[in-house]
Amino acid sequence: FLLCAIPLGIIYTLLIPPGIVPDEWTHMRNVLSLSSQLTGTEKNGKITMRECEVELYNQQVQSVNSEYYDYIYTNLISISNQNNYVNIENDSIGFDQIFCYFPSVIATILARLLSLSAITTFYLGRIFNFIFYIFICFFALNKIPFGKLLLFTIMLLPMTVHQMFSLSYDAVINASAFSCIAYGMYFVYLNDIIKFKDIIFYAFCVLLLLTNKSSTYALILG
């Protein structure tokens, strides 16, 4: 799984620049807002970003061209000198959404402390989401008692791959859903060897799903 997921994720994230994954601009805005709230820089009930982040956010491209690729890859690893915080017009998002964004929020706080550019910050958020995805999915594949090849295939479908290395919260939700399926089957078919750490891991993934998509997953998890 790791030998397939890691190179595929890297290829996809380089081919698909910031904002092209569905709703990724919205996810970027939410991640930046939550990061600002955690560090106490969110102002006036409005989403607060650094100036360099506003510049990237204002791009809002829907399709890519060579100029956009040049802009992204020229600044892929860079330091920013535009680190003053400013408001945009959108209201701050609810802090309860931290559960679906916490890997990329951690990455954003770290990037801001290091004064990394907005593009570098964006990609660091993607990397943290990706690390979370492959970590959770790796253990899910280990635990599922049968159907490993089927689960492996679903985890690496093109739709899932482009989300696993993105700023979308679907990286967290998909990984948690796969884990709940695997551990649920493990509890049913191998219930004689259940360990306490398995219950904790399952409960953690259930928490992530219920805090983000409770209406969808509550009945299934119950």
* Residue of 143, 79, 162 lying closest to 116 (CA atoms): 79
Q: Are β-strands 85-91 and 46-50 bridged in parallel, bridged antiparallel, or unpaired?
A: antiparallel
Q: In 10 A of CB 115, how many CB atoms?
A: 15
pLDDT at 166: 93
Q: Is 49 helix (H, G, I), strand (E, B) or coil?
A: strand
For residue 193, what pLDDT is reported? 82
Residues 6+ apart with CB under 8 A from 40: none
Q: Which stretches of the chain drop beneath a pLDDT of 50? A: none
Residues 5, 154: Cα–Cα separation, whole Å:
12
Token pair belonging to 215: 């209406």
pLDDT of residue 206: 87
